[in-house]
Copies of this chain bind each other. A is one copy, B any other.
Amino acid sequence: MPREATLATERRPLTVAVIGATGVVGQETLSVLSDRSFPVGTLRPMASGRSAGQRVVHRGKEWTIEALPDAASKNDEGSGAKLAAAFAGCDVVLLAVSKELALRVAPAAAAAGAIVVDNSSAFRMDPATPLVIPEVNEDALAPCRAALARGEGCIVANPNCSTILALVAVTPIHRLARVKRMVVATYQAASGAGLEAMRELESQARSFAKGDGHEAWDTRYFGRPYLFNVFSHDSAMGADGMNEEERKLVLETRRIWRDDTVGVSATCVRVPVLRAHSEAINLTLERAVTLEEVRAALVAAPGVCVLDDPAKNQFPEPRLASGRDETLVGRLRMDASQPEGHGVSLFLAGDQLRKGAALNAVQIAECLLPSIRR
């Protein structure tokens, strides 16, 4: 579906801006654009002032990183118009920056007429902004298609990584028998916190190898040893005891499925893994299913690769998911602790930087390309 969209629009090369191009998601976005032969005519990588002037190579051609305009970090009168001017001529703007920056940059880029896909949480719960996983709710893009047909821009929010991976795997089962409740425990990688967090984990392995005790490890990012440790996700904790990562799973699932009754109970945990997340998921279904039905639904599902070989103990692992587009799904089994046929358990692993961020954003842009007016 996204692939066909790409082919259908290879009419003229596009101007594509990648904002936050030096960050870990920005870099992955450039890889994904290249891997998928996204019809980039002009690439405009943008980043903070200190990276400006550096070069990036994209499909054999060098591009210079532009500084994000000053107006992006100011909130004074006219900054929106100045920012919009900076994005004049952009067809697609992919944002991999903080929520604070995204809140200013995304509307300006959309005002300039671009398809804007934002990786931050800034617009995810905004009713006017579609929150989209193409395999799950591509139809939610309809208002954007209409805007583009009128020659206007639009903003689409990329869901949180844990939500994307969970819903790619669970939606095929939801379509089969409606998920009433979902209990999720995550095993999240360093990459979700960015390049610095990944480097900190690697540096701790080097310190360990040198024989340094963990008092001597670099723990500046997470404030605690990460190597050989796991810890509760480092997002802000609400008064209800739920951290923001868990809340995103609850609220984004409801929004994407358009079902405010679905129960989601999540525990989000960081494990010392570099770039792919895993999740243990237990489902309560509205109607009874067989394991064969579940397996068939997953085998047929876009974006899913079923890896479920008990004989070889081959199941999803973050190592196997790293660098892959598909979400690996396995450990498929009926849950005997629930009424017969109504409980299903599974385990998944998916690349947090690809499907959990950059790939999903590029797929959204691909879905919208045919609607650009030319």
Contact = CB atoms under 8 A, between A and B. Distances in A.
A228 interface: yes
Nearest to A241: B333
Contact of A263 (B224, B337, B345): B337
A114 to B, nearest CB: 37
Contact of A319 (B229, B263, B337): B229
Interface string A236-266: 0100111000000010000000000001110
A230 B265 contact: no
A273 interface: yes
A228 to B, nearest CB: 5
A187 interface: yes
Interface in A123-179: none
A201 B214 CA distance: 16
A269 B347 contact: yes
Contact of A209 (B183, B206, B229, B336): B206
A273 B237 contact: no
A210 B181 CA distance: 46
A237 B310 contact: yes
Contact of A337 (B205, B240, B264, B343): B264
Contact of A318 (B208, B229, B336): B229
A271 interface: yes
Interface string A272-301: 111000101010000000010000000000
A225 interface: yes
Nearest to A207: B209
Interface residue tally on A, bucketed by range: 35 or more
A272 B269 contact: no
A315 interface: yes
Contacts of A185: 185, 267, 280
Contact of A273 (B208, B228, B264, B343): B228
A265 B343 contact: yes
Most buried by B among A210, A241, A274, A345: A241
Interface string A342-355: 01010101000000
B224 A333 contact: no
A263 B342 CA distance: 13
A62 interface: no
A274 B228 contact: yes
Nearest to A332: B241
8 contacts: A201-B228, A224-B317, A228-B318, A230-B317, A231-B317, A232-B313, A237-B310, A237-B313
